[in-house]
Structure formats: structure tokens, C-alpha cells
Structure 1
């Protein structure tokens, strides 16, 4: 088992939820957390605990971002005019690795980060190898020609596991995806409930 696979399964078990909706997630068999104390009865969670959990779940979903990365995105969302939770989701979904994952060019968000870092992706025809690169409306994201026959790509586009959201216009025959618009929370196909409002509450107090 690779380190990335271990990481995503560990996050699932820690949250007690299959946050990516993967059929092989260990919480499909047991919903308690990892370790010898994972089956202990859980008491009522405090407001702080609920907010922290919401933050960890959202942060983990996007490839377990570092706290510094996630806080920077939150701070930017807070500075913008409008509904901060919705803006936060929009900024997260505009990350290049998130777009590559949403477009079904790779099977997992962890694979998407590595796929971008290894230079397999272009934005508007130019190679971009920074996973946190922020796409804009109208940008065209494509798999580079030399990478189109990689097994990981063929597996992902052939999988019925996920649907492509409406804010992307994807052509799997050409392996291109246009970022049509920044999504709202209701547009994003999370397999579990995400609560960015609790994330905002967490950072407002800490």
C-alpha cells in the first residue's frame, strides 16, 4: 500500500466517514476510528470539536492540505465580498489538482496532485506543474499528449464511480476540461456533507 493510499484511508477512518465515496474505503466495513481506542463510545462533541472536525474533513478532502495552505485560502475567502463559506468552496474547487480530479482524469485527489506535479497537465496549452495553481473561468485544462495513454488516466475516465460536475465542460475523447464557472457549495458533488460555515466559525474564534 502506498503512502498516499494509507493517508486517505487514515483520514476516512479518523473522520468515520467515506469522504471521497470510494468503494474500498475501510469505513464501509467499520465506521469507528483507527487504533485500539477507536471503538470507544463517543460523547457529545463540543462546538469547538464540531467546528474542528468540519475543518479537518474539508482540508482532508482536498488531499490533506497543510494547515498553512488551508488557512491562506480561508483568509483570502474572508477578504472577498460575499458569502465566505461559498467563496471558500469556490477557491478550493479552482485549485488545478481539484479540477483534474473533478474532470476524472485521475481516480483520486491524491493522484491528481502527483499527476500535476509530474508535469502531465497543461492550462491553455502551457504546462503547469503546481497543484495549487488557481484556474480561471474559461481556462482549458488538458492532459498532455505524452500522458494520454497512462494506465491511471485510462482507468479514471473508464470508471463509473463519479460524475463530472456541471461547472466543468469535459471532453474525455480529447482529455480536455474547460472551467466554466466557479461553483457554489450546492454544485459540488461531495459524497458526504461538508459544512464550510463551521470552518468559518472555527477560524473566527481561533
Structure 2
């Protein structure tokens, strides 16, 4: 399964945002990596550079490589509606992202691993494809024999600041329901999707 496995703090510093979660390195050095990190010259970026940065930020945030991301954008561009918003909705509907949002895993990378290792079921069927697209009404649940896994119990023990309106969580059965695709204002990620649309429109 292709995924980014490089240094995460470096990427977070590049975008000046904790896109992989809390990061002490980013807190200490909130400027881009490299010998010219604090230079004011680096603030002058072309329109293309800004658009490319936004696409890269979205890819790293949701854990997709270029081909997967381009395929999802193409799907969004073929549908009626605002392309950028549809792209984010499809990203949020991925199984690995939903496992993360439900609190079953502390990060998207950990959620991807849980799915790949067959710890998650969708509508009572084991699904080991992180990119599996959920539909409204789908039930995502921790597999019965995996419910005592330390990684899962630890993640679920951490109180979440707020649940998400498009998801419903049942603590007793360790299952969540994907109610619908979220509206743009419900998605907390700091992504300027219009810049991504402009980049692919060139």
C-alpha cells in the first residue's frame, strides 16, 4: 500500500500547520525547514506555488499520493456542484478518515493501519481497503475480536473536543454511522480547495 513514510515534522514545518497532529518540533520552530527557513525572501511565492502548496497540504493531510488524489479530483470534477467542496467531501468519506474521525485511531496513519490489518468492518463485512468510500447509512464498527486491542482502547479513552455532525457514535457497540456527506463549513481542515481547483484547471 503506497503512502508517505518520510519525516513528518519537516512537512508540518513546511506548511506551518500540525497537519499530522500535535508536533513539538513545529511549536519550537514555526518556520520552514532549511538554512533559509526564517528568510523573508521565502514569503514571496508565485500563484502557481501557492496552488501547488495547497494541493500538497491536502494530500499529506489525508494521506494520499498523487495518482489517488488526481483520480478523486477527476471524480469530483465530473459531478454537479462545487468541485472543491465535492473533493473534500469524498476525502472525508474515505474509510480510514472516518475511523480517525470516530476516534477509533489517534491519527489517519493509524486508522489506515487498522483498516489494512482487518480490524474494521463496514455493514458487518470486513473491509481492508483504506480508500473505501462510505455512503450515507453505512455502519463502521471495530471487529469483535479486535475490540480489546490496546491501540484502539487507548484512542477511544481520549476525550474528543467535539464529535462531527455527519457521524454518529455508539460507545457500547464501538460502532459509528456515516449519516451523510459533510457540508464544507463542517469540515475543520484548513484547506483552500479553490486553489487546488485552479491548479488542476491550468
Q: Normalized against structure 2, the TM-score is what? A: 0.91
Match for residue 156 of structure 2?
Answer: 157
Match for residue 189 of structure 1?
Answer: 188
Match for residue 103 of structure 2?
Answer: 104
How many aligned residue pairs are there? 199
Alpha-carbon distance change, 115 to 28 in structure 1, aligned in 2, over 3 angstroms: same
CA distance in 2, matches of 1:56, 1:157: 30
Match for residue 131 of structure 2?
Answer: 132
Q: Structure 2: which 5+ residue stretches go unaligned?
A: none
Alpha-carbon distance change, 185 to 7 in structure 1, aligned in 2, over 3 angstroms: farther
Match for residue 35 of structure 2?
Answer: 36
CA distance in 2, matches of 1:35, 1:173: 48
Alpha-carbon distance change, 74 to 48 in structure 1, aligned in 2, over 3 angstroms: same
Q: Is the 8 A contact 1:4 1:110 kept in 2?
A: no
Q: Is the 8 A contact 2:4 2:65 kept in 1?
A: no
> Alignment partner of 1:166: what SS?
coil
Q: Please state if 1:203 is matched with 2:200.
A: yes
RMSD: 1.8
Deviations 1:16-62 (A, max 9, x none): 21125x33342122111223333333232111111111111111100
CA distance in 1, matches of 2:25, 2:99: 25
Q: Is the 8 A contact 1:14 1:33 kept in 2?
A: yes
CA distance in 2, matches of 1:38, 1:164: 36
Instruction: Report runs of 4+ in structure 1 exceeding 6 Å deviation.
Output: none
Match for residue 122 of structure 1?
Answer: 121
Instruction: Write out aligned runs for 1:5-154 (5 A).
Output: 7-20=7-20, 22-41=21-40, 42-63=42-63, 65-154=64-153
How far off is 1:153 after superposition?
1.0
CA distance in 1, matches of 2:24, 2:62: 16
Q: Structure 1: which 5+ residue stretches go unaligned?
A: none
How far off is 1:158 after superposition?
1.6
How far off is 1:146 after superposition?
1.4
Alpha-carbon distance change, 160 to 52 in structure 1, aligned in 2, over 3 angstroms: same
> Alignment partner of 1:135: what SS?
coil
Alpha-carbon distance change, 10 to 162 in structure 1, aligned in 2, over 3 angstroms: farther
Name the structure, 1 or 2, with higher relative contact order (CA <8 Å, separation 6+): 1
How far off is 1:160 after superposition?
2.9
Alpha-carbon distance change, 23 to 66 in structure 1, aligned in 2, over 3 angstroms: closer
Q: Normalized against structure 1, the TM-score is what? A: 0.90
